[in-house]
Amino acid sequence: MCRKPWDLAFTAEPEEVGALRRIMRLHLVVWGLQDITDRAQLCVSELVSNVITHVGVGTPATLAVSMSGTRLRIEVHDPDTRALPTLLDATPDAECGRGMALVGAVSDCWGVQLRADRKITWCELPTGLPSAEGRTGGTRTSRVEALLSERARERPRSAGTAAAAVEETAVDVMVDVLHWLRGFGRDPDEALDRAQTRFATDVGEADVPGI
């Protein structure tokens, strides 16, 4: 399975956090990494909140996600090279100061890279994959790949591999469904939660022959 790196520019606003968490969830489902969704969403929340709190509301920033070997790498780029995130010895009832401690607790590693024009705060999460190209999902994954490959062939040709086109098609389909739900007054987050619950029920059957 090709897990193509992606990035998304955003403005550091509190209301952006929820949208970025949903986008992360969608991509992880496409990548077959739904088991680490909660940890990845937590890292996105804390890294983005760190920019909002310590760099400033309205700061232009970028979320970048890629594979680093078998780990999921999450980066948040911002233009302030002075405000460096640090681990603080926050008390359990403290209202702030626990962000990077939480990131450190759920990730294998994290750090900060300074460039001439920006700062990159990153973390890496273990995925449990046997290799960077490893696949999960069994026969159900194979069936969906066949359907998405057919639809991907209808997309305008662009740079990248066929697998990358299928990935983008899957994200497009899920985003279309979420827009459809909202258009009919339904809650996209609730629908995602229900789908995730149903998936969790089905995943134990995924590798059983004939299912």
Average pLDDT value for the chain? 81
Instruction: State the Cα–Cα distance between residues 109 and 197, nearest whole angstrom.
Output: 29
pLDDT at 19 over 90: yes
In the DSSP assignment, the letter for residue 55 is: T
Contact yes or no for 92/107 (Cβ under 8 A): no
Report the predicted TM-score, pTM, of the whole model to 2 decimal places. 0.64
Identify the CA nearest to 90 among candidates 102, 73, 81, 108: 102
Grade residue 131 by pLDDT with cuts at 50, 70 and 90: confident
Six-digit token string for 93: 């009832």
pLDDT at 106 over 50: yes
**Higher pLDDT residue, 153 or 13?**
13
Pick from 24-33, 60-69, 150-159: least confident: 150-159
pLDDT at 69 over 60: yes
